[in-house]
Amino acid sequence: MISLYAHGGSGNHGCEALVRATAKILNPLKCDCFSLNPLEDKKYSVNDIASIKESVVKHGTLTWFFWSVLCKLKISNPVKKIYYYFLKDSPDVALSIGGDNYCYDGFPESLAYMNSKLNKVGCKTVLWGCSVEPEILQNPEIVEDMNRYALITARESITYHALINAGVGNTRLFPDPAFQLDCVKLPLLDGFIEGNTVGINLSPMIIDNETADGVTYKNYENLIQYILDTTDMAVALIPHVVWEANDDRVPLRALYHAFQDTHRVVMIEDHNCMELKGYISRCRFFVGARTHSTIAAYSTCVPTLVVGYSVKAKGIAKDIFGTYDHYVLPVQSLKDPDELMHAFDWLMQNEVTIRTHLQQFMPSYCAKAMEAGNEVKQLVPGAVG
């Protein structure tokens, strides 16, 4: 049995995609998934492919009160309360599936704590499908933590080379597990023209990373107006995270209300990650902020423009196209309200070349994501041989 941890819940459909794809890659081995939000996982039926278990001690219980007192007295680390059931389980092999968790403030310290605790009880840990900002590897404590993992699978080459150059030798390079996510095609909404619709994803996280107030939303607004004015394509607004405090539907609905009277803009409501991939796969182009929405597009050979904020967007595009120029527009660099429009114009002009490259490149690239499972299986007693 393999345990998955650092899973925030399937309301982030990128997290959901990682659990689903990881279970597929590791088949026939079974997975326990320790979740921060099991109700979300059950809502999207993730419990059908992995055993969903609580990570968090339930608020108001005696156990919660006990650990709260210990944490307040600084007798125990708060992380232990959050991941109480997981750490108590002490699996043989544990995969941290958060992907880019090391890119966010506070997460490296929590992950390092769990990595250390698990290693002390003889558990083999894996940092699975990760991206790491190269700058944090200047911290010797981070490098020490990385070297505790029995295996690290980097999902793009910028992270891979940064880890190798920092002396983290337990690192392998494989595409993001979600390149193996299955695709489910539901009936299309009226107004969604298969093969002639631009899929658009916008996230509050991207807006939070902008350096000029309001410039991101204005760029999206101008892009949609440009598409409507100069092409016969429809526009589909596609959310990929629906957490209450980080909900793509909030900015997307604002865009929908701004253009609904054109009758050429449709709003896709919440679905599981495979169904969202089904919608994205039938787009002609895709403009996305969420990494796993763009992975759904890449893997189904849809020419894609990424509005990114971190190393993961650049690294994945570089590995697919040989460069991230023209394929990734860093949100931090947005100053002009028409930059996204100009970037999309380049994508349209190069549509045939890009789609042909994806059709030739993607089959072998997606297949490589499956190979990562062999590395993990070698760590599981009795799984190989």
Say if 382 falls within a structural domain: no
Going by their DSSP bridges, the two strands 246-247 and 242-243 should be labelled as antiparallel
CB burial string 360-379: b at 16+ within 10 A, e below:
eebeebbeebbebbebbbeb
Say if 36 falls within a structural domain: yes
Say if 127 falls within a structural domain: yes
Say if 203 falls within a structural domain: yes
Domain interval for residue 304: 197-349
One domain for residues 207 and 156: no
Amino acid at 76: S
How far, in Å, CA of 375 to CA of 174, rounded? Answer: 10
Say if 115 falls within a structural domain: yes
What average pLDDT does the chain have?
91
How far, in Å, CA of 353 to CA of 108, rounded? Answer: 40
One domain for residues 238 and 142: no
In terms of Cα–Cα distance, which of 377, 271, 317 is closest to 22? 377
Residues 6 or more apart whose CB falls under 8 angstroms from that of 121 comprise 90
One domain for residues 220 and 306: yes
Q: How far is CA 134 from CA 94, 143, 161, in A?
A: 24, 11, 9
The number of domains in the chain is 2
Encode pLDDT of 97-112 as tens digits.
977 777 766 678 888 8
Say if 384 falls within a structural domain: no
One domain for residues 233 and 168: no
One domain for residues 207 and 328: yes
Query: What's the pTM?
Result: 0.93
In terms of Cα–Cα distance, which of 36, 274, 7 is closest to 129? 7
Contact 235, 265 (CB under 8 A): yes
Q: What is the CATH number of the domain that holds 166?
A: 3.40.50.2000
The answer to whether the peptide bond before residue 363 is cis (omega within 30 degrees of 0) is: no
Q: How far is CA 275 from CA 184, 266, 271, in A?
A: 5, 16, 6
One domain for residues 8 and 153: yes
One domain for residues 239 and 318: yes
One domain for residues 45 and 118: yes
One domain for residues 209 and 171: no
One domain for residues 128 and 166: yes
One domain for residues 42 and 117: yes
In a structure prediction context, what are the per-residue pLDDT tens digits for the chain, which is 385 residues long? Answer: 799 998 989 999 999 999 999 999 999 999 999 898 999 999 999 999 999 988 765 555 555 555 455 556 565 566 665 666 677 777 889 999 977 777 766 678 888 888 888 898 899 999 999 999 899 999 999 999 999 999 999 999 999 999 999 999 999 999 999 999 999 999 999 999 999 999 999 999 889 888 888 999 999 999 999 999 999 999 999 999 999 999 999 999 999 999 999 999 999 999 999 999 999 999 999 999 999 999 999 999 999 999 987 788 999 999 999 999 999 998 888 899 999 999 999 999 999 999 999 999 999 999 999 999 999 999 988 766 5
One domain for residues 342 and 247: yes
Q: Is 359 exposed, middle or buried (0-12, 13-18, 19+ CB in 10 A)?
A: exposed
